[in-house]
Chain A
Amino acid sequence: MKKSIVENVFWVMSNVLVIAYAVIPMLWIVSLSLKRGSDLNDQQFFPQTISFEHYRNIFSDMQFASAILNSIGIASIAALFSVLLGMLAAYAIVRLEFPGRRLMLIGILMTAMFPPVAIIGPLFDIWRITGLYDTWLGLILPYMTFTLPLAIWILAAFFREIPWDLEKAARIDGATTVQSFIRIMVPLAAPSVFTTAILVFIFAWNDFLFAISLTSTDNARTVPAAIAFFTGSSRFELPIGSIAAASVVVTVPVMIIVLFFQQRIIAGLTSGAIKG
């Protein structure tokens, strides 16, 4: 089946369109971050003169440095715990028949769609009494309300694809479920687990509502919250340059992840919904 030239041109054009759609707002933020402070209001898409002053500004600000550290630490730990716990649960869901399985899946799906605003009030109240307010753990726990169900869901979808004959063979050899899980499943599942970890990391990294509600200082404030609270020099002047530069800095890791793992991320995102 050959495609005509017209058809080819059409596809190329539409590809260009799609890429432009995705990239233009990001290019805009990058170009804003590279404009000189005095050029910020020139209404040009591209910077006339490239300057790194905004990057220097944000990196000389200790608040931003600690926010990055908090973001990386909190999102990683939340992702790690979610994947660890999620692995066990997903394995049971895919491999074993047991009463309560259906209820559990419905429960997990429900929590994944949970409105975070529904629990920030109680969490704020409990956290301020227990001293978890403005701590890493105080954000890791609420993050797990969405990272854990997501992890279970995506992992379950991945686990369905894994060849089980190997495990059966192991069981015939006398291994218990737990043994077969560790010996056979873990190596087979490693790539899926890794992808899931990346996905839930991105979700935790991007959270805003919990971060602005449950933190207040450099102790645990993550980057999105820090950016939103950058203080401008006058009441109506947003520190546009700093916001843009900080946005670029936090988007870079996400972009690298996407560039390297796009195929697996797409598989992870969609398999959960289609099969799940």
Chain B
Amino acid sequence: MISIRLISTLCIISLTMLAGCSDQKKKEVTSTLNWYVFNEPSGAFATAARNCSENSRNTYQIKLVPLPVDPDQQREQLVRRLAAGDQSIDIIGMDVIWTAEFAQAGWILPWRSEMKKEALAGRLSAPLQSVMYQDEMWGVPYTTNAQLLWYRTDRIKEAPATWDEMIHLAETLGESGIIQAQGERYEGLTAFFISLLATAGGSVLDTRHEKISLAQQPTLQALSTMARFANSSAADRTLSTTREDQARLAFETGHSSFMVNYTFVWSSIQQNAPGIAPHIGWARWPSLSKDKPGRTAIGGINLAVSAHSRYAQSAFQAAVCIASEQHQRIAATLGGLPPTIAALYDDTRIRETFPFADVLRATLRDAVQRPQTPLYNDVSLAISRTLHPMRNIEPDKDYIRLRDAISRALSSKGLL
């Protein structure tokens, strides 16, 4: 073994030296790392891939392979390849909700020793927690995300602190008193429920992420808030088919006064609706009681290394490079993707791009993880299926249905 390694190292060294003279030889040493990640239109990912390839002095070349932008479809394509042992995947742009599933199935490699140290350095705690599963670290936090409350400062003096207040305010505003939220039957609805549940002090699973928790009082509070909102005049007529982007588009028309949504809306509003941009305010996600802040589910992507990768060592290095401070800054300023490195929230250029940086940092500090179970996909489907459409929620009845559906999902028996 040792001698083979020695010989191959020698070969690589000699080839690297030769590579300086001829371009053709260069291709033989360079390993191509395929980075599967959602299609990012601003070019932030492409820039990172190019920079890191150059920095590697041709030990590797990162090739971006775009996935659909919809996370459900990203996952669908990835898991099929991973389960089939596809060797062409090296680096995975892994949504925070996939960590447990990918790790449990043995599709990704754990981060250890030196690599782990580099991946940990300076990261915010919420994104860091999202790469942990069973006391191992499964990725490097790259970008994060959390919802804020966006509202019209020309219509409301002060941001409402609670959902009850907000719904009440919206109702008094009349026609323009719409609150944009995500009510389509998909991950966004699950995230909405989990955020409300966490705000009420509950959680879907117990602290060990194995058994169902779903304490009665907080769950009922979350469900009745959803029902109340969806049946009030504050809900958009199309709430049951609204996702993040529809909510943003509707808000940009100016007919709505509130919106809970991710930070990407900020740059979009400034581009698409310069008329209302000066009247946009932001605040923490609304709470359910005055004394406890609202908590929202954390989003974002981490970079993981595929277990079937032929160049795992290079892939680890490349992932660290892509997720480095320099490239997080590019992702933030160019693509509007919030960084996971704490120090960047004090960076002047970042604060220019994200004037709401402090509110976002506070939100992330209190953020909640969606259930870190390998069966998260099933659990999420169980939640969104049971609670869609929101206007038909009957808290007492649906509490039992929800418990039942989640239990089935956790025993891998649920048909979803």
Contacts and interface: CB of A to CB of B under 8 A. Distances in A.
Contacts of B70: 235
Interface stretch (B81-89, B282-290, B345-353, B384-392): B81-89
Nearest to B268: A234
Given A216-B77, A236-B246, A231 B84 contact: no
Contacts of B11: none
Contact of B85 (A128, A217, A231, A234): A128
Contacts of B69: 231-235
B41 A233 contact: yes
B245 A234 contact: yes
A146 interface: no
Contacts of A213: 80
B355 interface: no
Interface string B211-249: 000000000000000000000000000000001111000
Q: How large is the interface on B (under 10, 10 to 19, 20 to 34, 35 or more residues)?
A: 10 to 19
Given A124-B80, A128-B83, 8 more contacts: A128-B85, A134-B86, A231-B66, A232-B69, A234-B69, A235-B70, A235-B243, A235-B245
Given A127-B84, A134-B84, A231-B67, A236 B39 contact: no
A52 interface: no
Contacts of B84: 124, 127-128, 133-134, 216
A232 B39 contact: yes
17 contacts: A124-B84, A128-B83, A133-B86, A134-B86, A216-B77, A216-B80, A216-B84, A217-B86, A217-B88, A229-B77, A231-B67, A232-B68, A233-B39, A234-B69, A235-B69, A235-B243, A235-B245
Interface in A205-226: 213, 216-217
Nearest to B71: A235
Contacts of A234: 41, 69, 245
Nearest to A127: B84
Interface string B80-100: 110111101000000000000
Sort A-B residue pairs by CB-CB distance and give the 10 closest, nearest first: A235-B69, A128-B84, A133-B84, A216-B81, A236-B245, A231-B39, A233-B41, A231-B66, A231-B68, A235-B245
B339 to A, nearest CB: 21
A168 to B, nearest CB: 54
Contacts of B67: 231
Interface string A228-253: 01011111100000000000000000
Q: Which of A127, A133, A216, A229 has the most CB of B within 10 A?
A: A216
Contacts of A217: 81, 86, 88
Contacts of B85: 128
A229 B246 CA distance: 21
A217 B87 CA distance: 11
- SS of A interface (majority): loop
A181 to B, nearest CB: 42
B147 to A, nearest CB: 16
Given A128-B85, A133-B84, A217-B88, A236 B243 contact: yes
Interface of A: 124, 127-128, 133-134, 213, 216-217, 229, 231-236
Interface in B15-68: 39, 41, 66-68
A229 B80 CA distance: 14
A229 B69 CA distance: 11
B86 A216 contact: yes
Nearest to B67: A231
Contacts of B245: 234-236
Contacts of B88: 217
A133 B41 CA distance: 31
Interface string B301-327: 000000000000000000000000000
A232 B85 CA distance: 27
B345 to A, nearest CB: 26
A213 B81 CA distance: 10
Contacts of A231: 39, 66-69
A82 B197 CA distance: 57
Contacts of B80: 124, 213, 216
Nearest to A219: B88
Contacts of B86: 133-134, 216-217
Nearest to A125: B83
A233 B85 CA distance: 28
B68 A229 contact: yes
A235 B77 CA distance: 16
B244 A235 contact: yes
Contacts of A232: 39, 68-69
Q: Which of A127, A213, A233, A235 has the most CB of B within 10 A?
A: A235
A156 B88 CA distance: 45
A236 B249 CA distance: 11
A216 B88 CA distance: 10
A81 to B, nearest CB: 24
Interface string B342-380: 000000000000000000000000000000000000000
A127 B83 CA distance: 11
B149 to A, nearest CB: 21
A229 B41 CA distance: 17
Contacts of B41: 233-234
Nearest to B244: A235
Contacts of B81: 216-217
A234 B336 CA distance: 14
Contacts of A124: 80, 84
Interface in B235-274: 243-246
A217 B77 CA distance: 10
Contacts of A236: 243, 245-246
